[in-house]
Structure 1
Amino acid sequence: MADELKRRLVHASGSGLVALYLLANYLELGLTWDYFRVLMVVLSLGVIGLEFLRLRVGLEWAIYDKLTRDYEQDQFAGYGYYMVSMTVAVLVFQPAIALPAMLMLALGDPISGAVSDDSLKTVKGPQVLVTMFVVSAIIAAPFLYESPLAVFAAALGATIADGIKVRIGDFIVDDNLTIPVYASVLAWLALDLSPL
């Protein structure tokens, strides 16, 4: 249980990347969206490098025992998918779409996990789905307030990614990979389709 709480706190710490961008932007410190994209690529490459060292070279740090789950011991870990998916959102979409998608992963996922029974159901229970949707909509609203449809769509995307397990053969697609992607794509589609 203590390790699970640590994982959730580390998960939530990703919101610091969004805070960094917003604060630097507000204070006019020169962290443009293009520079932020470069930062995200560098961080993702660093994480991929760490995972290569862990899986192929045998790098064993004690922190891996605390922050990775048993099934991740011999495969690419969730924190790697986390950074890669956030980076994809930042590279493909503009801030109003990418930033809330990042927060849905950083904050929405651990909050929905806290109300989950941790079972391996294909579709999570209604309480988890509603929690993820409400938290994601609250996160999206300040960024996408001009389009309620986009707020709804982004929250729906995050909820689908968090709440429905996708299996490809024996591989279960990690929701750390899908939450920002689904949320961003559906928000973008909603904005594209919305009459303005």
Structure 2
Amino acid sequence: MADELKRRLVHASGSGLVALYLLAGVLSLGLTWQRFQWLVGLLAAGAVGLEVLRLLFGIEWWLFDKLTREYEAETVAGYVWYMVSMAVVVLVFSANIALPAMLMLSLGDPISGIISADSLQRVKDRRTLVGMFVLCAAIATPFLYEYPLAVLAAAFGATVADGVTVKRGDFVLDDNLTIPIYAGVAAWIAIQIGPFW
């Protein structure tokens, strides 16, 4: 239980990247969107590099033992998918789409895990799905308030990514990868469609 709490807190700490960008803008610290893209891209590359060292060369990190689950010992760990998905949305989408997508992963996913009765279900229970959707809509609103359809679409994308387990054989598509990407793509499509009234 203690390790699970630590994992969730580390998961939530990714919100610090969004806070850094927003505070830098308010305080005029010169962290442009392009520089932020470089920063997140470098962090993702670092995570991939650490994972290559671990999987191919057997280099174990003490932090890895504390913050990952047993099933990740022989496969790519969730923290890599986490950083890669954040980098993808930051590099592909504008800030008003990418930032809430990042928060949906860093805050929505661990809160959904707390709400969820059984994370091993193919589809999570209704309470968890509704909770994730409402939370993600609340996260998206300050960034996408001019596009209400995009708010709903992003929340729906994140909820599907979190709530529906995609499995083929032994392979399970990690929601650390899909939550921001589904949310970002859904929001972008909704913005292209335009107002629905």
Cross-structure match for 1:27: 27
Q: What is the CA deviation profile of residues 117-150 of structure 1, one whole-angstrom value per residue up to 9, with x for unaligned ones?
A: 2341110000110110011000000000111111
Q: Percent identity, aligned pairs only?
A: 66
User: Cα RMSD between the aligned structures?
Assistant: 1.1
Other-structure match for 2:50: 50
Question: How far off is 1:168 after superposition?
Answer: 3.0
Task: Using the TM superposition, give the Cα deviation of residue 27 of structure 1 relative to its aligned residue in structure 2, in angstroms.
Answer: 1.1
Displacement of 1:71 in angstroms is 0.4
Q: What are the within-5 Å matches in structure 2 for residues 74-89 of structure 1?
A: 74-89=74-89
- Report Cα offsets for 1:155-176 as digits up to 9, x if no partner: 0000000000112332100000
Alignment correspondent of 1:93: 93
CA contact (8 A) 2:113 2:119 kept: no
Could you list the per-position Cα deviations for residues 19-57 of structure 1 after superposition, in whole angstroms to 9, with x for gaps in the alignment? Answer: 000111111111110110011110011000110111111
Aligned to 2:110: 110
Residue in structure 2 matched with residue 160 of structure 1 by the alignment: 160
What SS does the aligned partner of 2:133 have?
A: helix
Equivalent AA in structure 1 for residue 148 of structure 2 = P
* TM-score (norm. length: structure 1): 0.97
What do residues 47-73 of structure 1 show as CA deviations (whole Å, max 9, x unaligned)?
001101111111122211111101000
Q: Which amino acid aligns with 2:32?
A: T
How many residues of Structure 1 are paired with residues of Structure 2 in the alignment?
196
State how far apart, in whole Å, the 1-side matches of 2:43 and 2:119 are.
32
Quote the residue 2:62 is aligned against.
Answer: 62
Aligned positions of 1:122-141 closer than 5 A: 122-141=122-141
Instruction: Give SS of 2:172's match.
Output: strand
Using structure 2 for the length normalisation, give the TM-score: 0.97
Aligned twin of 1:145: 145
1: CA distance, partners of 2:61 / 2:79? 15
Structure 2: distance between partners of 1:179 and 1:101 = 7
Is there any run of 5+ residues in structure 2 with no aligned partner, and where?
Answer: none
2:147–2:195 Cα contact (<8 Å) kept: no
Find the aligned partners of 2:168 and 2:98 in 1 and give their Cα distance. 26
Q: Which runs of 5 or more residues in structure 1 are unaligned?
A: none
Q: Does the 8 Å contact 2:136/2:155 carry over to 1?
A: yes
